Amino acid sequence: MKFLIKKSDKNSSARLGELETDHGIIETPIFMPVGTVGVVKTMSPDELEILGSQIILGNTYHLYLRPGTEIIKKIGGLHKFNCWNKPILTDSGGFQVFSLARLNNITDNGVEFQSHLDGSRHHFTPEISMEIQRNLGADIIMAFDECPPGDSGNKNILQAVNRTTKWMARCSNWLKNNPEIYDYEQTIFPIVQGGVNYELRKKSIEELIPFSNCGMAIGGLAVGEEKNAMLDTIQYCDTILPKEQPRYLMGVGKPSDLIHAVGSGVDMFDCVMPTRNGRNGHIFTNNGVINIKNEKYKNDFSAIDEHSSHKWGKVFSKSYVRHLFNINEILGLRIASTLNLGYYLNLMNTMRLQIQAGTFSQWSLKMLNQMEDQKGM
């Protein structure tokens, strides 16, 4: 995998880049729709491609539980299983183990846990996570890390940093001894931990750089910490992370967060917000977020978003989409999810164009001021 920085913004750390994988080139900065269990909910691969999706996510923990790694391996990997021919990134499953499952024991060896589905007992180690991700066959795979809650004390965060470094070494060693099983390259991203403690972030980055060939992830944010502390930590990481490698901010976030983070040198993002919020009736528009279930839209026959990048935003009325949600019609979920993903992907495309034009800093200041007055942005 190769990363090329094509242009850098003069007044911020924003940069325009290309990430080359064996399944295609990814233009950065990029937002990656989340297909946790092998599908971006309610969306087909063709629809995702039309929206401008260049790469999607899968999750090791969820795919391990359902349908099971062996089933995906039998068909030749996740690309063939879900008919997505562009790049895929898989999370290591660490975050889900710590946030969803009932934990029994965490040691330096790994994690024992009970499935959130049926209570069955399982054991994840760095080696097991790597083996699962080898079989899934994503282009970019994530190291197995420990992600402490946002309210953790420095002692627990330090323990997570140390454990994450040790686990990264084991991931790297396993991959060296177990080459790719498909006819394309897989690249691992280490995951930086450290909470909002700058000293621990610096320690984590410096310890993980030797394991990084083409990309590092910023983990352990958007887990309950104060927003300004999160943004300041991202900005701090920008000063230490390798400039020549792509940076992936995990699990973030709202549109304004993405603009801030691009200005701090982040290249890749993922978040369930567009699809999850969409399924709950929250639609991102160029005028802010609207809750389409609200009574006030019952007789509102105006378009959802006249400036939407997708035709559905311009042709379907608020009243009609509200009606679809009220009768539990799947089309309502599809419209909301499609418009939200379209909004996010169009926002990233706009940022790429602004960086190319040399106007990102002026544009971002204007957009952030505008979003301050818009609910949910």
At 319 the three-state DSSP class reads: helix
**In sequence order, what are the residues at sequence separation of 6 or more whose Cβ sits closer than 8 angstroms to the Cβ of residue 228?**
none
Strand order across the 88-91 sheet:
56-59, 88-91, 140-142, 187-189
Rounded to the nearest angstrom, the gap between the alpha carbon of residue 216 and the centroid of all alpha carbons in its chain is: 13
The reply to whether 151 belongs to the active site is no
Give the integer Cα–Cα distance in Å for 7 and 352.
10
Q: Are 215 and 140 in contact (CB under 8 A)?
A: yes
Q: Which one is catalytic: 91, 139, 145, 238?
A: 91
The reply to whether 267 belongs to the active site is no
Give the integer Cα–Cα distance in Å for 56 and 257.
20
Helix/strand/coil percent split, the chain, to 5: 45, 20, 35
What are the DSSP calls for 175-213, one per residue? HHHS--SSSS--EEEPEE--TT-HHHHHHHHHHHGGG-S
Q: Which one is catalytic: 145, 257, 267, 270?
A: 270
131: its two tokens: 């083996």
Q: How many helices (H) and strands (E) does the chain have?
A: 15, 17
Buried b (16+ CB within 10 A) or exposed e, 81-103: bbebebbbbbbbbbbbbbeebee
Q: Which residues belong to the active site?
A: 91, 270
